[in-house]
């Protein structure tokens, strides 16, 4: 009886009969990686990362709106209403654009206590990017001009307007206490220590050259992710550090799967264990399905977030996640096998038992 061939079988056969020699392509791909890493290093070195709210130099300004509408002098904005809220942001953004800057973040605030004894007033607190070429004094002068322009844009003529729950606060430069830097340093140390542990573990469980492969693969993946983040100008925030940790873990998962599969193939005699390239190639093919499925799920997730997430910060985070997933998939399929066979040494075994 002839068996019916399912889609799964077709797919499995297609992969099994795949003629692509992944190991042969290694040099091309490592060259591409190096080119991207160098380009990223140039961008990061000369232009810098597109620093997000957690690391950039920012100023803050508060726009008070008369949500009750009982003051006839000014137009009323109810910031709980999305349309009004967007209108407020639009007006501020237009003013900031005139001064070559932009809104970094906006938060609705309820003023519970203020010097002027205002209770329950509504305001939008907006942080915007400082001009890095300006001195502190010049930035202060610019902020003062921005404040005046925003007041004009809303029709608020005097400082006293604040007392009527309408007006604009002074724009102040924000100087962050450097605990964000502490987070970066502690993250770097944590990732390095974790990577060293992974290397030692792999050496104990598999073979000595695994040390080199693990080190190179993790370094490659993290550097490539950082380079792409620099080139694509995705804002560098604390969430980006989370994405780097994600890259690290995914690299380790890929390496573990790769090494255990390689070991299984060589031990079962499924591949000529004297030929490192063949081992690497067959292992990549054997893991291709798993990699395809897993990364397809991450791509779907990232694209969903990019398309539908309500805030720009979330969309940027999804973009960084997508970059990390692309790098890990690329590394798992095209790079790790090359790193593996470059340092591959066939294990000398007592053949008499076979």
Partner 1 sequence: MVKRRSIARFVIMSIIALIMLLLTVCSFTIPFTSTNYNGFINSIPLGFDYASGVSVVYNAEKTQNSDNTLSQEIESTLSKLDRFFSYHGFSEYSIKKQGDDQIKVEVLKEQYSSVMLSLLESPQQIFFTVEEASDELTPTSYLSSSDISFAEVSYDQNAAVYGINLTLTNLGKLSLESLKSQADIVGSDTVYIYLDEINSSNLYGEIAVDKLGQTMFISSSSASNTSSAYSEAYQTASNIFVGTFAVELSQQSMTTITPKLGENAWMWTLVALLAFIVALMAFLWIRHGDLGLIANLILVFFVSLQFFFMQAIPFVRLDLGGAIAIFLSILLFVVSQIVILERISKEYSIGNRIHVACKNGFKKSFWRLFDLHIIALVSSVLMLLIGKYTISYFGGVVFIASLVSFFCLYVLFRFMLNSYLPLNSTKPAKMKLYREANVKEIKEEVPSQADQKTDSEIEGGQA
Ranges within 244-303 binding partner 1 (CB under 8 A): 245-246, 248-250, 252-253, 256-257, 260, 263-264, 267-269, 289-290, 293-294, 296-298, 300-301
Whether 156 and 167 have beta carbons less than 8 Å apart is answered as yes
User: Is residue 64 part of the contact set for partner 1 (CB under 8 A)?
Assistant: no
Give the nearer residue to partner 1 in terms of CB position, either 153 or 245. 245
Contact residue for partner 1 among 18, 38, 134, 190 (CB under 8 A): 190
Whether 222 and 35 have beta carbons less than 8 Å apart is answered as no
Distances (CA, A) of 169 to 63, 71, 110, 249, 327: 7, 19, 14, 45, 45
Helices (H), 206-274: 210-232, 238-268
202, 207, 211, 215 alpha-carbon torsion, rounded to 10°: -70
Q: Which stretch binds partner 1 (CB under 8 A): 3-11, 156-164, 225-233, 333-341?
A: 3-11
Give the nearer residue to partner 1 in terms of CB position, either 34 or 145. 145
| Residues near partner 1 (CB under 8 A), total | 84
Contact residue for partner 1 among 60, 66, 67, 217 (CB under 8 A): 60
Between helices 26-42 and 210-232, what is the axis angle to 10°? Answer: 50
Whether 259 and 214 have beta carbons less than 8 Å apart is answered as no
Q: Report the site for partner 1 in 79-118 (rule: CB under 8 A).
A: 105, 107-115
What contacts 200, CB < 8 A, 6 or more positions away? 211
User: Is residue 159 part of the contact set for partner 1 (CB under 8 A)?
Assistant: no
User: Is residue 150 part of the contact set for partner 1 (CB under 8 A)?
Assistant: no
Q: Which stretch binds partner 1 (CB under 8 A): 38-46, 92-100, 231-239, 336-344?
A: 231-239
User: Is residue 321 part of the contact set for partner 1 (CB under 8 A)?
Assistant: yes
Distances (CA, A) of 58 to 47, 54, 176, 180, 189: 18, 10, 9, 14, 28
Give the nearer residue to partner 1 in terms of CB position, either 154 or 317. 317
Closest CB 25 distance from partner 1, rounded Å? 24
Closest CB 291 distance from partner 1, rounded Å? 10
Give the nearer residue to partner 1 in terms of CB position, either 99 or 315. 315
User: Is residue 20 part of the contact set for partner 1 (CB under 8 A)?
Assistant: no
- Would the CA dihedral through 297, 300, 306, 311 be positive or negative? negative
Give the nearer residue to partner 1 in terms of CB position, either 141 or 267. 267
User: Is residue 326 part of the contact set for partner 1 (CB under 8 A)?
Assistant: no
Whether 171 and 145 have beta carbons less than 8 Å apart is answered as no
Distances (CA, A) of 122 to 67, 87, 149, 155: 7, 15, 20, 17
Q: Which stretch binds partner 1 (CB under 8 A): 27-35, 95-103, 203-211, 277-285?
A: 203-211
User: Is residue 126 part of the contact set for partner 1 (CB under 8 A)?
Assistant: no
Closest CB 209 distance from partner 1, rounded Å? 11
Contact residue for partner 1 among 86, 182, 219, 272 (CB under 8 A): 182
Give the nearer residue to partner 1 in terms of CB position, either 43 or 298. 298
Contact residue for partner 1 among 305, 326, 342, 343 (CB under 8 A): 305
Query: Rounded to an integer, what distance in angstroms lies between the CA atom of residue 309 and that of residue 107?
Result: 17
Residue 16's Cβ-count burial label (10 Å; 0-12, 13-18, 19+) is exposed
Query: Rounded to an integer, what distance in angstroms lies between the CA atom of residue 50 and that of residue 33?
Result: 21
Closest CB 186 distance from partner 1, rounded Å? 5
């Amino acid at each position: 009886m002839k068996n019916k061939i399912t889609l799964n079988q077709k797919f499995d056969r297609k992969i099994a009969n795949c003629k692509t020699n992944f190991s042969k392509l290694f040099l091309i791909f490592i060259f591409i990686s190096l080119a991207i890493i160098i380009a990223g290093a140039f961008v990061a070195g000369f232009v810098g990362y597109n620093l997000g709210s957690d690391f950039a130099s920012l100023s803050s300004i508060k726009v008070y709106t008369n949500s009750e509408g009982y003051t006839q002098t000014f137009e009323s904005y109810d910031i709980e209403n999305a349309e009004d809220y967007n209108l407020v942001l639009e007006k501020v953004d237009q003013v900031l654009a005139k001064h070559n800057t932009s809104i970094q973040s906006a938060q609705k605030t309820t003023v519970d206590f203020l010097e002027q004894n205002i209770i329950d007033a509504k305001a939008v607190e907006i942080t915007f990017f400082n001009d890095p070429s300006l001195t502190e004094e010049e930035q202060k002068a610019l902020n003062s001009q921005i404040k005046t322009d925003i007041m004009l844009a809303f029709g608020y003529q005097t400082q006293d307007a604040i007392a009527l729950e309408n007006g604009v606060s002074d724009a102040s430069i924000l100087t962050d206490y450097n605990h964000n830097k502490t987070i970066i340093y502690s993250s770097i140390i944590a990732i390095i220590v974790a990577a060293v542990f992974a290397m030692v573990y792999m050496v104990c469980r598999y073979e000595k050259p695994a040390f080199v492969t693990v080190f190179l693969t993790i370094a490659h993946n993290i550097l490539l992710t950082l380079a792409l983040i620099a080139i694509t100008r995705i804002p560098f925030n604390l969430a980006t550090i989370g994405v780097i940790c994600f890259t690290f873990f995914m690299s380790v998962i890929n390496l573990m799967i790769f090494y255990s599969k390689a070991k299984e193939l060589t031990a079962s005699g499924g591949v000529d264990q004297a030929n490192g390239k063949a081992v690497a190639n067959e292992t990549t093919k054997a893991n291709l399905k798993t990699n395809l499925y897993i990364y397809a799920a991450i791509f779907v997730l990232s694209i969903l977030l990019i398309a539908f997430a309500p805030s720009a910060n979330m969309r940027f985070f999804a973009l960084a996640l997508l970059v990390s997933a692309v790098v890990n998939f690329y590394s798992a399929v095209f790079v790790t096998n090359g790193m593996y066979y470059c340092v591959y040494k066939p294990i000398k075994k007592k053949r008499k038992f076979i």
